Amino acid sequence: MNRWFSLLITLTILAATQTHAQVTVNIGTVNLHAGKIGLGIDGITGSTNLLMKYFFNNQLAGQLIAGFELETVGGSAPQGQTKQTGLAWRAGGSLVFHLTRDQVSPYLGIEGIFESRQQKGFFSVVPDPQNKISGGIVAGAEYFANDQFSFGVKQLLGLDVMLERHANSLVYPREEATVKFTTSTLVTARYYFN
């Protein structure tokens, strides 16, 4: 249900800006320029990240990424146990190069994100958070509906490095660091200020 609602909102925004876009955007060249700042979101259908994109020049941009999830547990903890709310937070960045300055602007780049995830539930001893570092190559495209609004899709091809945890615990088994190959596809939306 949440995915369909997010898709409906995105399509509504696209339809609302499309009529205005025909007047303000010169097809062929979008007003990408050094100093342009965009705020947005990605992962519209899942756990959303907040994005801040900054163009260093007409085609090279850096982006800060931040996000969090909060999961609550219902009821009271049984005697002798602790009620633990699940919390995940992540922060990272990317550097992307836009291949064109057209209304549809494909890009390539690199991205890295650190994430810490605390498990939710009732525990006699609360487990350590699970930490991971994700990084890889990003390929995507932004469609500029006008000079202020864009939406797009990005594909990440990279690695997830799950860091060691429970190194000094007598209750939980030690988990060694693991590495896995991952891919992900995210929908993005941004509003540019200048």
| Residue of 140, 105, 139 whose CA lies nearest to 33 | 105
Residue 9, classed as helix, strand or coil, is: helix
Residue with tokens 């876009």: 21
DSSP secondary-structure letter at 176? -
Phi, psi of 10 (to 5 degrees): -60, -45
Query: How many CB atoms are closer than 10 A to CB 177?
Result: 12
* First-to-final CA distance of the chain: 35
> What is the per-residue pLDDT across 141-186, written as a single tens digit (0 to 9) for each?
999 888 889 999 999 999 999 988 776 677 777 788 899 999 999 9
> What is the per-residue pLDDT across 62-110, written as a single tens digit (0 to 9) for each?
999 999 899 888 888 888 898 988 999 999 999 999 998 888 999 999 9
Tell me, what's the pLDDT at 102? 85
> What is the per-residue pLDDT across 97-113, written as a single tens digit (0 to 9) for each?
999 888 899 999 999 99
pLDDT (average), residues 33-53: 82
**Structural domains present in the chain:** 2-192 (2.40.160.20)
Report whether 183 contacts 157 (CB < 8 A).
Answer: yes
Q: Does this model's pTM top 0.85?
A: no
CA distances, 127 to each of 80, 89, 168 (Å): 15, 16, 11
